[in-house]
Amino acid sequence: MSKIERVEVFVASPGRTFVTLRITTTDGVTGLGDATLNGRELAVASYLRDHVAPLLIGRDPARIEDTWQYLYKGAYWRRGPVTMTAVAAVDTALWDIKGKTAGLPVYELLGGRSRDGVLVYSHASGTDVPSLLDDVERYLELGYKAVRAQAAVPDVGGTYGVRKGKLYEPAAGDLPDEQPWDTEAYLGFAPTYLEAVRERFGFGFHLLHDVHHRLTPIEAARFGKSVEACRLFWMEDPTPAENQEAFRLIRQHTTTPIAVGEVFNSIWDVQHLITEQLIDYVRTTVVHAGGITHLRRIFDLAALYHVRTGSHGATDLSPVSMAAAVHLDIAVPNFGIQEHMGHPDEAREVFRTGVTFADGMLHPSDQPGLGVEYDEKAAERFPYQRRYLPVARRLDGSVHDW
């Protein structure tokens, strides 16, 4: 019987930092998992190398559920982003191995296709309204049927969500960039540029917007009400979700759909939001919510309450995570949409993925497993670089919520 023989952790920065887990069995089959936690990558790498890898040697790679429970319950200290990202990496790698052993793509092991492709959205942004409109047009011409729109608030030095280079990558510098934030300026400006997008391009595509947790519940309710005519696909992260009852207040004031969950890492974090139907889309991810096994559990709960999926898919999720997400997306019955930002050219030198984009949708590889390869030699050309997400400060200098 095949056993886990080797567990390796790779940390590299091909355009941005990724932590990649590779598990090898005594039969020579390898599986990949993503263990990237933006800004805390080395914490997960250490957790895997120092605490998880020794536990895996000699275990049966086919016992995915048992291994998940062993790593989750056996540690005593449960949940949390570092632990769940490490568990996710192992789980994803074991699904990759199972698919290769069976000679089937992972989505076939999950029950097969529920749809022909996975609807995705990407990020349009601008330093002002004209540049935002030009960027929206660019994504529509690329074939996207859903676009997120963000623009820099006038006279505010930094606005999270606005792309600075070829790709949107907010993590920059070995210390966090401290950016000013003005809530009233945002509330006055954001509805105007979303209205401008609809006025220029109409309603023939899905329009999304990310609030980045920066409003109080009543401010979020005011914002949602003000953009109802724009018919947003969703407003994302309207308020910090630690106080989940706050979403009930937002619900009472607006019909704009709500998406939340990318910072959550377990079914217990979203249980109340889902069962009370306080959100419309759950954005938990393969990499931060315990892997394919646990994310499927979250999506199954969501399906019971008419909540759809909308998994996070920023550039800090490696091509391994994106492939795993697409395999799960194409199988679950309550799929909504998948975030898709692409990866820098350097990352494509390190990761070879069979995921393809066409007609506004992603399509999984039909190769056995996840259909992703990791080039260890190429990764050596991109040594680790510490990068952090920015920190927002109110005009009075105090730290603001994300």
Distance CA 368, CA 97 (A): 9
Q: Would you tell me how many other CB atoms lie within 10 Å of the CB of residue 396?
A: 6
Longest dimension (CA), the chain: 65
At which residue do the structure tokens 């623009």 appear?
Answer: 151
The pTM (predicted TM-score) of the whole model is 0.96
Strand segments (E) across 157-242: 178-181, 206-210, 234-236
Residue 288 falls in the annotated catalytic set: no
Q: How far is CA 285 from CA 34, 59, 189, 273, 387, in A?
A: 11, 26, 31, 16, 21
pLDDT tens, residue order, the chain (402 aa)? 899 999 999 999 999 999 999 999 999 999 999 999 999 999 999 999 999 999 999 999 999 999 999 999 999 899 999 999 999 999 999 999 999 999 999 999 999 999 999 999 999 999 999 999 999 999 999 999 999 999 999 988 666 778 776 666 777 778 888 888 899 999 999 999 999 999 999 999 999 999 999 999 999 999 999 999 999 999 999 999 889 999 999 999 999 999 999 999 999 999 999 999 999 999 999 999 999 999 999 999 999 999 999 999 998 899 999 999 999 999 999 999 999 998 999 999 999 999 999 999 999 999 999 999 999 999 999 999 998 888 888 878 888 876
Give the residue among 357, 352, 351 at the shortest CA–CA distance from 338: 357
The answer for residues whose C-beta is within 8 angstroms of residue 162's C-beta and 6 or more apart is: 125, 126, 127, 150, 151, 152, 168
Interatomic CA distance for residues 221 and 287, integer angstroms:
31
Rg of the chain in Å (alpha carbons): 21
Answer yes or no: 272 catalytic: no
Contact indicator for 34, 106 with CB cutoff of 8 Å: no
Give the type of residue at 76. Answer: Y
Cα of 137 vs its chain's centroid, Å: 24
Per annotation, catalytic residue among 72, 160, 168, 281? 160
Instruction: Compute the residue count for the chain.
Output: 402
Please state whether beta strands 372-374 and 391-394 pair in parallel, antiparallel, or not at all (unpaired): unpaired
> What's the gap between Cα 345 and its chain centre?
19
Q: How far separated are the first and last CA of the chain, in Å rounded?
A: 48
- Beta bridge partners, 25, equal 4
The catalytic residue among 123, 206, 209, 212 is 212
Angstrom distances, CA of residue 225 to CA of 150, 229, 232, 243, 295? 18, 9, 11, 21, 31
In whole angstroms, give the CA distance from residue 147 to residue 150: 10
CA torsion, ordered 234, 237, 239, 245, to nearest 10 deg: 80
Q: Which tokens hold the place of 350?
A: 């390190």
